Amino acid sequence: MKNISTNELEQVLQDDKTIQLIDVRETDEYAGGHIRQAKNLPLSELAERTNELDADRPLHVICLSGGRSMNASMYLEQAGFDVTNVDGGMMSWQGDVSK
């Protein structure tokens, strides 16, 4: 599985409009502040909502600190997705946050 820093993610989001950014925090956490491009897909719902993802586009997965996104990334990689985990999660994110 690939890993990138939040600084690298910020650059990827500017340069590559084809990636999918998945925020696997729970809905209330996501509502408290998230990256604008991120789709909320809580880890607790991931297995039953995987069909909402485009298997032909790369996935980047983020959470609060990196633990849940690592678990989600491993699951999605086993399901055949091209996945990159975002190390440090939202705790490390320095860019803009939407609510």
Per-residue confidence (pLDDT) for residue 18, from 0 to 100: 85
Exactly one of 35, 46, 59, 63 is catalytic; name it.
63
CATH number corresponding to 2-92: 3.40.250.10
45 by Cβ neighbours in 10 Å (0-12 / 13-18 / 19+) ranks as middle
Tokens 């209330």 locate to: 28
pLDDT along the chain (99 residues), means of 10: 95 89 98 96 96 95 97 97 97 93
| Integer Rg of the chain from CA | 12
Any catalytic annotation for residue 63? yes
